[in-house]
A = this chain, B = another copy of it.
Amino acid sequence: MSPKITTELLKQLRQVMKSPKYVQEPVQAYIVPSGDAHQSEYIAPCDCRRAFISGFDGSAGTAIVTEQHAAMWTDGRYFLQAAHQMDNNWTLMKMGLKDTPTQEDWLVSVLPEGSKVGVDPFIIPADQWKRMSKALRSAGHDLVPVKENLIDIIWTDCPQRPCKPLIVLDLSYTGVSWRDKIVALRSKMAERKVLWFVVTALDEVAWLFNLRGSDVEYNPVFFAYAVIGMNTIRLFIDGDRMMDPAVREHLQLDSTLEPEFKIRVMPYGSILSELQAVGAGLSPKEKVWLSDKASYALTEAIPKAYRYLTPYTPICIAKAVKNASETEGMRRAHIKDAVALCELFNWLEKEVPKGTVTEIIAADKAEEFRSQQKDFVELSFATISSTGPNGAIIHYKPVPETNRTLSVNEIYLLDSGAQYKDGTTDVTRTMHFGTPSAYEKECFTYVLKGHIAVSAAIFPNGTKGHLLDSFARSALWDCGLDYLHGTGHGVGSFLNVHEGPCGISYKTFADEPLEAGMIVSDEPGYYEDGSFGVRIENVVLVIPAETKYNFKNRGSLTFEPLTLVPIQTKMIDVNLLTQKECNWVNDYHQKCREVIGAELERQGRHEALRWLIQETEPLIRVQ
C-alpha cells in the first residue's frame, strides 16, 4: 500500500474554500466527515469523500483541512491503515489516546481569530453540529453550513449516486403491509401528539414501504427520504425506478385510494425545500418528529420550537421486533446459510492441507456456496477470512497484500454473512485444520463458555441487552483475559446486518429493552496480537422462557440460536466445560444435525452431510 498523493487535491480544496463562487464568505477550515446524508454505516462510492481527499478509506474517520493543516481523526482499529494510506500532508489524530486533541480543541488551537469553519449541513448529524458549534462559538469562531459540498466540486471523476432498480417484498416476507405500517406509525405519532414524521435513515424507508434496493453494497437499501403526515405520504426518490410496474402496483400509485394512503412521489433532492415548507406552515403545538441523528440541514428546516427529536424513531423500534413471517424467513435464511457453510468447511478440510487455499480463495468459495442458495441476493458485509495472526485483527478483510494461505498449523477465523430475500445472516466460526495447541483450545473454550452464557441466559422481560454483556466475559475474566469489542448487535430482516435499537455491549449506550422477536448477534472473542483470533458468533432470536416461578408476573426471556453451524469440537477442551455447558453444545449440535442435515439431504449434498454428522458427534465429559 503506497499512500495517496494529495498535495494537488488539498491545493484545490483550499482554493474553493476561499472562492466566492462556492462559499458566501471564505472558510478557514473545512470538515469532511465519514457519513452520507442518511448517517448510514455503509456508504456508496459517491459518498466516500473523506477517502477521496485523504486516501484513508477505513469505515470511521473525520478529516479537517485548514489553510495550513490537514488532519485525520480515527480510532485504534485504523491507526496503522490510516498511517499507510495517507501522505505526509496529513497529520494522524489517534482518538482514544490521552494526548490527542478533540477536533474542537485542535481547531481552536490552529485557527486565526474569528474564523469560519465550514461543513456540509447534509452530512453532519444535528447532535454533532450542536456540540461543535457551541465549542467553536465559545472560542470566537463560527461553524457555518456550506451548501455545496466542496469535495464534490474538486472530485471531477466522482462516481454517480447509484439509482438501481427496486425489489418489491411481498407480504409473505414482510408479514405486514406498508399501509398497516403507516397506520401503526400514525398511531405512535398521535400518542406523542406529533403531526409529521421525517424518515431519514435508508433502512427505515426500505422497511416502511416493504421495498429493497441495491444502492449501497451489502445493505439492500435505496436513496430516499419520506415525510409522513397524518393524512399525507411523501416519498423522495430519484430515477425511473417508480416507472417499474411492480413497484407502482405495490405502492398502488395508479389506484384510486383513500387520500391518506396516496403516496406523492417527489425528487430526492426536493426534501429540504419540502420540509422547509412543512416547517413554515406549522402552528403552535404542531410538532415534527425527527431522529436526533438526522442531518443538521433537515433538522434546521423545522423551527426549533416545533421539533420533536428522539434517539430512536418509532420505525427503528418497530423494525427491531420481527413478526412471525420475518422470523420464519430468518430461520429459512439461516438454514440455507448453514448449508453453504457445511459445504465450505467440508471443502476446506480437504483443500487446506494441499496448501493452495488463501484467505481470498476461501472467502470467494464461501460466497460461491451461498450464491447457490435460493433467494440469495448478496453478501451482508465484507467477509472476514483470516488465518493465524490476521485473525487477531478484529475488522480484517483480506487484500492481496495481506492474503495468507490457510494451513494445518494455524487457526482460521471466518466471519461472514449474506442477504437472502427472506433474511440476513452473520456467523463466525473459528476452526483448526490440523491439531490445535492446548493454549489455543483453552482460549477457544473460554470464548465458547461466554457464548453459551449469553445464549442460555434467562432474564426478565424489560432487561436491556447491556446487562448481559458481562456474562460473555466472565470465563475470560476469570483467567485475566478479555476482548475489546461489544458482544452483540441487532440484525435486520433482509436489511442492514447492524441495526438498533438493541444490542449487547459493555458500553452504556441508550439501548432499548430486549423483547421477544428481537434478533441480535452473540459474538464473544479472544485476540492475541500477532498470533491468532477466536470468535464464535451466532445470530439469536429473543423468545419467551419458561421458568419455575414468575416474579411479579413479569415473564422471562431467553435466546434461540437461528445460526445452526457446528462449533468445531476439536477446539474444545471438554474438561473446562461444566456439565450444563457440555449439554448445551450437544443439544445445539443435535439440532444442527436434524435441521441442517434434513436440508443437506433435500439438496442432495451428501458429502457435506457426512461432514456435518462427523462434526456434531456428542462431547463426552469425564467427571
Contacting pair B469 A551 (CB below 8 A): no
- Which of B458, B474, B482, B552 lies in contact with A477, CB distance below 8 A? B458
Is residue A420 within 8 Å, beta carbon to beta carbon, of the partner chain? no
Please tell me which one of the listed residues B466, B467, B548, B578 contacts residue A480 in the complex, with CB atoms under 8 A apart. Answer: B548
Q: Say yes or no: is A460 at the interface (Cβ < 8 Å to chain B).
A: yes
| Contact-size category for A | 20 to 34
Q: Which B residues are in CB contact (< 8 Å) with A460? A: 477, 482
A556 touching B477 by the CB < 8 A rule?
yes
Decide: A467 near B506, CB < 8 A? Known: A458-B478, A459-B477, A482-B460.
yes
CB neighbours of A554 from chain B (8 A): 482
Query: Quick one: which of A518-562 are within 8 Å of B by CB?
Result: 547-552, 554, 556
User: In the complex, what distance in Å separates the CA atom of A482 from the CA atom of B508?
Assistant: 22
Q: How long is the Cα–Cα vector from A198 to B168 in the complex, in angstroms?
A: 64
Question: Closest CB of chain B to A392's CB: distance in Å?
Answer: 12
Tell me if A62 counts as interface (CB < 8 A to partner B): no
For residue A228, give the distance in angstroms from its CB to the closest CB of chain B.
26
Which chain B residues border A467 with CB–CB below 8 Å?
469-470, 506
- For A479, the closest partner residue in chain B by CB is B548
Is the Cβ of A549 less than 8 Å from the Cβ of B481? yes
A471 within 8 A of B: yes
User: A480: nearest residue on chain B (CB-CB)?
Assistant: B547
Judge if A457 is at the interface, Cβ distance under 8 Å: yes
Minimum C-beta distance from A412 to chain B (A) = 22
Task: Name the interface residues of A255-310: CB closer than 8 Å to any CB of B.
Answer: none
Cβ distance A480 to chain B, nearest Cβ, rounded Å:
3
Indicate if the CB atoms of B547 and A478 lie closer than 8 Å. yes
A76 CB, min distance to chain B CBs, angstroms: 12
- Residue in A468, A547, A549 with the greatest tally of chain B CB atoms within 10 Å: A549
Residues in B whose Cβ lies below 8 Å from that of A474 = 457, 471
Q: How far is the CA of A150 from the CA of B482 in the complex (A)?
A: 57
The interface residues of chain B lying within 8 Å CB-to-CB of A470 are 459, 467-468, 470-471
Chain B residues whose C-beta falls within 8 Å of the C-beta of A506 in the assembled complex: 467
Which A residues from 452 to 489 make CB contacts under 8 A with B? 457-460, 466-471, 474, 476-482
- Chain B residue numbers with a CB within 8 Å of A578 are 578
Contact pattern, A 205-224, Cβ under 8 Å of B = 1, otherwise 0: 00000000000000000000
Q: How far is the CB of A351 from chain B (nearest CB, A)?
A: 34
Query: A480 — which chain B residues lie within 8 A by C-beta?
Result: 458, 547-551, 556
Contacts of A547 in B (CB 8 A): 478-480
Whether B508 contacts A466 by the Cβ 8 Å rule is yes
* Minimum C-beta distance from A441 to chain B (A): 14
Which residues of chain B are within 8 angstroms of A551 by Cβ–Cβ distance? 476, 480-482
Greatest chain B CB density within 10 A among A457, A482, A547 is at A482
Q: Closest residue of chain B to A456, judged by CB?
A: B478
Smallest distance from the beta carbon of A177 to chain B beta carbons, Å? 31
Q: When chains A and B are docked, how far (Å) is the Cα of A101 from the Cα of B542?
A: 33
- Within the assembled complex, what's the spacing in Å between the Cα atoms of A525 and B94? 45
- Give Cα A547 to B578, complex, Å: 20
Which B residues lie within 8 Å of A478 (CB)? Answer: 458, 547
Write the chain B residue with the least CB distance to A549: B480
Nearest chain-B residue to A305 (Cβ)?
A: B138
Quick one: closest B residue to A470, CB to CB?
Answer: B467
A474–B476 Cα distance when bound, in Å, is 18
Residues in B whose Cβ lies below 8 Å from that of A471: 470, 474
Interface residues of A in 563-619 (CB under 8 A from B): 578
> Which of A480, A482, A506, A549 has the most B CB atoms < 10 Å from its CB?
A480
Chain B residue at minimum C-beta to C-beta distance from A557 = B477
Residue in chain B with minimal CB distance to A528:
B551
Q: Which residues of B contact A481 (CB under 8 A)?
A: 549, 551
Which parts of A29-44 form the interface with B (CB within 8 Å)? none
CB distance from A105 to the nearest CB of B (A): 13
**Cβ–Cβ < 8 Å partners of A459 in chain B:** 470, 477
A556 to B476, CA, bound (A): 11
Report the Cα distance A623→B508, complex, angstroms: 41
A556 to B554, CA, bound (A): 36
Cα-based distance from A380 to B476 in the complex (angstroms): 38
CA distance A273 to B272 in the complex (A): 53
Do A549 and B479 touch (CB < 8 A)? Answer: yes
22 inter-chain pairs at a CB distance below 8 angstroms, sorted by A residue, are: A457-B474, A457-B477, A458-B478, A458-B480, A459-B470, A459-B477, A466-B508, A467-B470, A467-B506, A470-B471, A471-B474, A476-B551, A478-B547, A479-B547, A480-B549, A480-B556, A481-B549, A482-B552, A482-B554, A508-B508, A578-B578, A623-B623
A-B pairs, 9 with minimum CB distance: A480-B547, A480-B549, A479-B548, A508-B508, A481-B551, A467-B470, A480-B550, A482-B551, A459-B477
Give 16 A-B pairs besides A459-B470, A480-B550 with Cβ atoms closer than 8 angstroms. Answer: A457-B474, A458-B480, A459-B477, A467-B506, A468-B470, A476-B551, A479-B547, A479-B548, A479-B549, A480-B547, A480-B549, A480-B551, A482-B552, A508-B508, A578-B578, A623-B623
